[in-house]
Structure 1
Amino acid sequence: MYNIQNIVAKNIADYRKKHHLSLDKVANATGVSKNMLSQIEKGNSNPTITTLWKIANGLHISLSQLTSLQDDHIAFIDESDIIPIIDEHVTIYPYFPYDESKHFEMFKMVIQPNGKMHSEPHHAGSEEYIIVNEGTLEIEVDDKSYIINNHQAFRFNCDVQHSYFNPGNTSTVLTSTMYYQ
């Protein structure tokens, strides 16, 4: 049985090997300490979503490239088949991992009541498309707040700092598509 720690560990090790990178170079590129990267790569640490985004952004790869098994022949996905990325107040389900030929990834995000997640800027030119399926999402992009309600959508350039917040008393469920140029 795979778990997220082992998948992330394997993907970081594979990436470093493929690109001939030391832990020092990865630490400098990502802002994550060499010690923490070593623990993650050994499967001894369960990184937060924020740390995973820092690693993905620093290596210029998508979150799903870091957190998903590589399988190019998936045609049908059931949520029970997905290994979720779980943080204190946010859970991400990577339904469609990054596809090099299409330049996007798609995932479901569940934010607990009063839960918040901060995201560093993604790759230059990146865009995020959000559809709120349940609840209300407050999103802050470049120091400006927007409210997206149930069955509404929102698109923004995500190469700037942004934060997701659930102001309600029930879970907010959204679908996000990240497009990388």
Structure 2
Amino acid sequence: MNEENIDLSSQVGLNLREIRKSKRMSLDDLANVSNVSKLTLGKIERGETNPTVNILWKICRGLNIPLVSLLSFKENIEVHRFGSNYQFSGNNNDWFVEPLFNTHGTEWYRGCIEPNSEYSECHLAGSEEIVLVLNGQLEMKVGEKIHQLNQWDVIKFNGEELHTYINRSNEKVHLMLSLSYTTR
């Protein structure tokens, strides 16, 4: 598949429909368990909208699947160029994440948090997250504990616990993230 011809919104829609049907769920069923409207789910499945990462997390929690299940392409060799169109952003566009790879149950992402911003999330039960700070400084709040991280520092934590990425600087902070699931 030619990199320039990949349409992530369409692929997410196809993957969502396939997973939903394999679980024998209607759009109404999925709307009830994900707290995402049936109308929005239908638009996503048809590739008519580019959902935020928050919407995708809700859907994944409702389906009890990892995020990369919705974002995966079947390729033998994958190259993900920085700044591609594969980014999903937070509600205020102060956080973005790019899905990269799914390798033996571990999802890999590239992320960026804008200056003077923060973003919170939590993942499925049984998940473990690892964050590598590529530049600058980042505060990671995991539960109630705050960790100060500098360039090249790495943190590993229970992904199902509420965690917040905090950038108090005036520069973007770039990250590499991995997310693994021990149970599916």
Shared fold by TM > 0.5? yes
Which of residues 101, 105, 111 is equivalent to 1:103?
105
For 2:21 and 2:83, the matched residues in 1 are separated by 28
Paired positions, count: 175
- The ranges of structure 1 where at least 4 consecutive aligned residues each deviate by more than 3 angstroms after the TM superposition are 80-83
Q: What does the per-residue CA deviation read over 1:129-175, in whole Å, with 9 as the maximum and x for residues that have no partner?
A: 11101122222222332221111111110112222222111111111
| Aligned residue identity for 1:11 | N
Distance 1:70 1:31, change over 3 A: farther
Q: What does the per-residue CA deviation read over 1:35-77, in whole Å, with 9 as the maximum and x for residues that have no partner?
A: 2211211222221111111112221222121123233x23x52
The answer to whether the 8 Å contact 2:51/2:88 transfers is no
- Counterpart for residue 7 of structure 1: 11
Q: Secondary structure of 1:79's partner?
A: coil
For 2:161 and 2:38, the matched residues in 1 are separated by 25
- Counterpart for residue 118 of structure 1: 120
- How do residues 1-181 of structure 1 correspond to structure 2 at under 5 angstroms? 1-71=5-75, 73-74=76-77, 77-79=79-81, 83-87=85-89, 88-97=93-102, 99=103, 102-119=104-121, 121-181=122-182
For 1:78 and 1:109, the matched residues in 2 are separated by 13
TM-score for both structures, normalised by structure 2? 0.85
For 2:111 and 2:148, the matched residues in 1 are separated by 16
Q: Secondary structure of 1:134's partner?
A: coil
Structure 2 runs not aligned, ≥5 long: none
For 2:65 and 2:84, the matched residues in 1 are separated by 20
TM-score for both structures, normalised by structure 1? 0.86
The answer to whether the 8 Å contact 2:72/2:101 transfers is no
Structure 1 runs not aligned, ≥5 long: none
For 1:85 and 1:115, the matched residues in 2 are separated by 18
